[in-house]
Chain A
Amino acid sequence: MTHGVATGHARPQSFLRRHVFSVDHKVIGRQYLDLALVAVVTGMVLSWIMRFHLGWPETPVPGLGKLAPTGAAGGVITPEFYLALMTMHGTIMVFFVLTTAPFAGFGNFFLPIHVGAEDMAFPRINMTSFWVTLLALLVLLSAFFVGDGPPLSGWTAYAPLSAVGKDAGPGQGVGQTLWAVSIAIFCIAQLLGSLNFIATTLDLRTRGMSLARLPFATWAWFITSVIGLVAFAVLMPACILLILDRVAGTSFFIPAGLVISDRLQPHAGGSPLLWQHLFWFFGHPEVYIAILPGFGIVSQILPVFARKPLLGPRVFITCLIAIAFLSYTVWGHHMFLSGMNPLSATLFSVPTLVITIPATIITLLWIGTLYGGRLRFTSASLFALGFVSVFVSGGISGFFLAQPSTDIYLHGTYFVVAHFHFVMGVAAMFGIFAGTYFWFPKMFGRMMNETLGKWHFWLTFIGVYCVFMPMHYLGLAGNVRRYSAFTDDYLQPLIPLHRFITVAALFTGAVQLIFLFNLIRSRVRGPKAPDNPWEATTLEWSTSSPPPHDNFGGRQPVVSHGPNEYGGAGPRDYVMQADPQ
């Protein structure tokens, strides 16, 4: 390990350099979080429109007829427009919220501080990666405003429908091309971001900050960036192949003799399954890119509020590494329905079941940490506990989906929708909320309102269970996913349950206004935050709130302790990493 942290950029003077085109990792982290906030609101509104339509398929959505005159003439959504909403909801949420906020957002702000550095290893590349992310989001959102609207082929963009162009439906022309270009651009941003995270963790650690003393969140960001480096390095060439099939007439993914919309496609010999393999080789690790930062955040928060060290810190890190490794061996479980050889299905099923072992061990470590702890219930700790709850709820349904025999029945149903929303969507969101309540005082120098935070937690916690728990039942009852309405078939009796879910989703969404209000109000009027309001140990709590431009006021912290020293005797029951030996 090498020492020395000076990245040597002075505090810039102009407004643009300080707040817009800043190379300061803290500004960039906040920019990522702001971008994710815009994206999550957009994605949530899209899901509301979808949910409304699923509950009341023939009732016009107020105002929608004017916004989308072709997709929702008179406010009633066409099946194609439903698919467009679904595609954009999934793409925005997975890429621009679940990947962006917990990893790029919090990671950018806190990883350099956690290791005791002034900034990231490559500050300019760091700034570039944010602006490239924003460009990717703008390209994606522009699909709403082009001729035939956003693409229909889901966030997974399965070939050949995603590859053949506008014959495949409205939005499959320019809209789908914009999607592929946007995701390729996003890959560049993520690769640049991961490069910075890894180099910073390896090279810029301060004196005494051995790998064993890295805070758990930083371990998680580090491992996530390694996963991201490999995963996005595969998705990007896949997107290039897709774009070439669409605009250059190649046939990577389009087979011969394909007739779509009564037209023989002028391509030959491609393999639609090739796209699925490339996509899911990225796509499954992507699940861990979304959730591992949550693991890190929760593992950092629980000991603080249980006033006990995290149980088995080395086991925890070993499990993170095991998950990272195994995440590359399981992608085929997304393709059990694609007609794969049953032997292959078994080969993918086994590691899928095996990967639950490290995940389960980590969950047990969290519960063991809480056992006998002196719990302090704050908004941050409640959301961390909620994370454990929803992660377990979503994880258990994974056992059924890991086995081809049950997955073949469940894969096309709402059971899967419930599974991935719990384990990836809601759990990661709870990690983001926990991180926000925990680190807001450090980021903005002001405390958030705890009463509002607790209301936000309990109403959200109840809300998400009301939304996603019944979907397991829908799936078991054979309710197919991706369909826009169930008015004409055997699923009609399930519509009242869909209505319940819709009401719960609208309610849970409305509850987020409490969070938004708290976020904005606290930023302006919250009480001043002390340097270490939660009595935590890691380096960010040794510097001022918010930290100065160079994080530690021109001086370099020296680390003499691990991040996990809680529960000691004496007037102060914790030892900070920067405390003297």
Chain B
Amino acid sequence: MSTAVLPPSTNVPAAPVVATGGGPRPSVAQTGVWIGIATISMSFAALTSALVVRQSSAPDWQHFPLPPLLYLNTLVLLLSSVTLEQSRRREAIATLNATLVLGLLFVLGQVLAWRQLGAQHLLLATGPRSAFFYLFTALHALHVLGGLGGLLYVQRRLAGAALAPATFKAAAVYWHFMAVLWLYLLTLLTIRG
């Protein structure tokens, strides 16, 4: 058995090299967040098309008014975006903490809205519209919780004065996207009601 190797290259040059470091560290965090936003958008686009197809597939779309609490929750989420932006511009902890509290309030508000619907016997399996309502709001809330995790990380780094502005920007972009996504979902759930 021979192990044929091509003629050994006697003249393989070493890579010309420079020392690592120097130059700004690229903001991979921001790239990552934008890629994440693209992915999440695609998932919700798929679910939107599922909603449209499902609504037209059978005459069992049940109309019910959305819990008014949702509009209050919307305000809370939008406010959290404002406080986050203030925090980012001034690198202020207090407004960041306010964002965290408002974010948590939003999720709690969503849970309360589910309980209100549940009290009306509108559950996940009651009909297609309630199914999509719970699905959209739950998936969005999960993503918001993920965002809260990211903001907690930002808060710890900021407190330790070890936060790169680009990382803060990345977290903020994600958080604002959560607000935009929620506005889209609320609109969809309203006009497709």
Contact = CB atoms under 8 A, between A and B. Distances in A.
Interface stretch (A70-78, A89-97, A213-221, A268-276): A268-276
A273 B11 CA distance: 61
B120 interface: no
Given A447-B5, A554-B20, A270 B57 contact: yes
Contacts of A530: 5, 8-9, 12
B18 A268 contact: no
A532 B131 contact: no
A372 interface: no
A4 B26 contact: yes
Given A269-B60, A451-B4, A274 B50 contact: yes
B46 A532 contact: no
A312 B22 CA distance: 36
B19 A122 contact: no
B23 interface: yes
Nearest to A571: B11
B125 to A, nearest CB: 3
Nearest to A572: B11
Interface string A177-209: 000000000000001001100110011100100
A202 B31 contact: yes
Contacts of A222: none
A203 B28 contact: yes
Contact of B58 (A122, A268, A531): A268
Contacts of A450: 2-5
A268 B131 contact: no
Interface stretch (A104-112, A226-234, A411-419): A226-234
Contacts of B68: none
A129 interface: no
Interface string B6-35: 101101111111111111111110011001
B15 A552 contact: yes
Interface stretch (A142-150, A247-255, A294-302): A247-255
Interface stretch (A30-38, A394-402, A535-543): A535-543
Contacts of B49: 277-278
Interface in B63-110: none
Given A4-B22, A249-B125, A449-B3, A244 B131 contact: yes
A278 B46 CA distance: 7
B97 to A, nearest CB: 26
Q: Of residues B15, B25, B46, B60, which shows the largest number of chain A Cβ atoms within 10 Å of its Cβ?
A: B15
Given A4-B21, A248-B125, A452-B1, A203 B26 contact: yes
Contacts of B53: 271, 273-274, 277
Contacts of B152: none
A368 interface: no
Interface stretch (A55-63, A235-243, A353-361): A235-243
A229 B38 contact: yes
A533 B5 contact: yes
A4 B35 contact: no
Interface stretch (A473-481, A495-503, A555-563): A555-563
Contacts, number: 194
Contacts of B125: 248-251
Contacts of A251: 125, 128, 131
Interface stretch (A21-29, A422-430, A504-512, A573-581): A573-581
A4 B24 CA distance: 7
Q: Of residues A255, A256, A269, which shows the largest number of chain B Cβ atoms within 10 Å of its Cβ?
A: A269
A346 interface: no
Interface residues of B, number: 52
B187 interface: no
A378 interface: yes
A6 interface: yes
Chain A interface SS verdict (over half): loop
Contacts of B20: 4-6, 118, 554-556
A198 B35 contact: yes
A230 B50 contact: no
B36 interface: yes
Contacts of B4: 378, 450-451
Contacts of B22: 4
Interface string A521-550: 000001100111111000101110000000
A11 interface: no
Contacts of A277: 49, 53
B58 A543 contact: no
A122 B32 contact: yes
B58 A241 contact: no
A280 interface: no
Contacts of A233: 39-40, 42-43, 46
B124 interface: yes
A248 B126 CA distance: 10
A14 interface: no
B54 interface: yes
B186 to A, nearest CB: 19
B16 A532 contact: no
A376 interface: yes
Nearest to B19: A555
B24 A270 contact: no
Contacts of B58: 255-256, 268-271
A250 B8 CA distance: 65
B26 A2 contact: yes
B36 A195 contact: yes
25 contacts: A2-B24, A4-B24, A194-B35, A195-B35, A203-B27, A230-B42, A233-B42, A234-B46, A241-B135, A248-B125, A251-B131, A252-B131, A255-B57, A268-B60, A269-B57, A269-B128, A270-B58, A274-B54, A451-B1, A532-B12, A542-B13, A556-B19, A576-B12, A576-B13, A578-B13
Instruction: Please list the 8 inter-chain residue pairs (A to B) with the smallest Cβ-Cβ separation, ordered nearest first.
Output: A269-B58, A555-B17, A249-B125, A233-B42, A2-B26, A578-B15, A271-B57, A450-B4
Given A191-B39, A199-B35, A555-B15, 15 more contacts: A4-B22, A6-B21, A203-B31, A230-B38, A270-B57, A271-B54, A447-B3, A448-B3, A449-B3, A527-B3, A541-B12, A542-B13, A542-B14, A556-B18, A579-B16
